Structure 1
C-alpha cells in the first residue's frame, strides 16, 4: 500500500491544526489558487512560477513534484506519516478524501486532504534506525511506500518493535558512511562552482590565514601562475616556515613536481604546498616520499578536509560562499 510523509512545517508549526481538524494541508504561503485548474505538471509548474516569480526554476520544479503528489498521486486509503517536530514521536494516519481547495480559508490553509488517524504519539525509539533515516530529507511531501510493510508489522504488534535487530549498529555505520559521502560530494560541487580558476587560490589563502599565516597572493586573475601564494609565520610574514603555494584548479592530475620545486628555489621558499583539484598522477605520488621534508600535496579530498578543520576560523566571505552547518551524531567504527 502506498505511504507518504507529509510534514507539519519546518518547526512543527502546523501540526496542531493537522490534529485538531483531522486534515493535512499544503503549507506554501500565498498559494490561493485552485490547483485543479492544472491539467498536468507543466500547467502546475506555470502556476507556481507565476505565484513565486523570484524563486529559482529548480526549486519550482521540486515544488511542482511535491504539490502534484499531494493533489493527484496520493489516493484515499493511502497511509501518511507525520514525523513530529514538537515531540520525539511519529503520527500515522490514512487519507480519506480527495484534494479540496477552499478559497475562504486563511493563508496557507487553502489546500487540504481529510485524514483518519491510525495511531498518534508513537515514540521514535520504537522504530529501527533505517526507518528513521527513511523519514528524513528536505522535502515536505515524499513517498516512502518501500517501508510501509514495516509500519504494518508494527501496527499488528501494537506499535512496538517486533524484534531486536542485531544488525542495527552495522546499518547505522553504513548509513552514516553514505551520509558523509553525500555531504562531501555536495561540498565538492559547491567549491567547484564557487571557486573556479584563480578563485580556488583565494580559498587556499583563506585557509592559510585561518592557520595564522601571513600571506601574499598573486594579483593575476586570469590563468594560474607558477606562484599563487607566499605564506610565512609572524605578523609581517618574516618568520619561519616560509612556504610557496601553487594551486591548480583543473580536473587534470598534476604529472610532475620538477617545475614546482624549481619555483620554490627561485623564491627562496623553505617548503612548498602544491594544491591540485584534479589530484596527482602516480609518478608524483612516488615522488611524494622523496620530497617529504620539503613538499606537501593537497588533492580535492585534502582541501575539503582543510576547509572542515578550519571552518570556524575562515573569514565571513568564504563562509558565505560555502555555507555549512554542523550536526552531532554518534561516533561509529568509521571515526
Structure 2
C-alpha cells in the first residue's frame, strides 16, 4: 500500500454508514451531479462558483480541490481511513472502485462514492502516538495520510503496533487556516479527557452537571447498583428531575445489553444519562430511543462539548481535572 487517504465526510458522522454500505463518500451535492472524472481543478472551481455564486472564491477552491482529489487522484488499491469522533476509533480499508455519483445518497451527504473493503478491526485513537494523532487532525474532508501515520495505523490494525519516527508533514492548506481550530481543539481536549482514570471521569461528569445547575451525589467506589451519580435540583433526589447517571470509561462500545441493564433499575419518574467514552453501538441508540424512561447517551464528544459550554461555571476541582484556557478568534 503506497498511499492512504483520510475520507471523513460530515465531520465523521457517516462512519457507520461507510462501514455498512462498504463505501467512502463525500458530499458537495450542489456540484456532484455535474462533476466529471477528468475535469481539471480550475474547471471544478468554475463549476462551484457557477452553481453557488455567493460562495467565497477561497471556499470554492478548497472544496473543488477535495472533490478533484477524490475523483481523480484517489486510486483503486489505495488505503483509506475514516474517523468516528463519537467513538474515537479509526476504520481502515482499501479502495476497490471508481468514483460514482449517487443521487439517492446525495441528501445524506454521500453524493460521490467509492466502494471500499473495510477491515473488521477498528483502531482506537488512544492507542496511537501523539505525532500520529496530530497528523490525522486536519479538518479537510479528503487528504493524504502521512507515511509514518499510515504505517502506525496499519500496524495497529494488524496487531503489530509500531511507533515510527515522524517525518516532516506535508502542509495541508485550507481555505481559512483558522476554520478548523475549533474541531482540532475538541479532539485535543478529548485526548486529555481520555487519560483520566474512572474515578476522575466520574468526578468530571458530576462537575459538569453541577455547572449546569444541579446538585450531585457521587457513589463511592464499589457496587453502585447502576447509579454512579444522582443529580437533582435539591441534591437529595426528591425534586424533579432526578437524573440517574451511569459512567463507563473504557474502550469498546456499549450495546443493548448494557442499556437494558441500566434501564431495568429505573423508577418511572427517573431521567437517565448513560456516559460511555467508548461510544455506543447503533443498536444501543435504538434501545435508548424506545425506552420508557427518558434516556440520553453521552460519548466523549458530548462530554467535551458540555464541558466547554459550561466551563466558566465549573468549580475549581473540575477545572483541575481538565485545565483549559479561553482563546478568541475572528468571527
Output the TM-score relative to the length of structure 2.
0.47
Output the TM-score relative to the length of structure 1.
0.46
Quick check: which has more Rg, 1 or 2?
Answer: 1
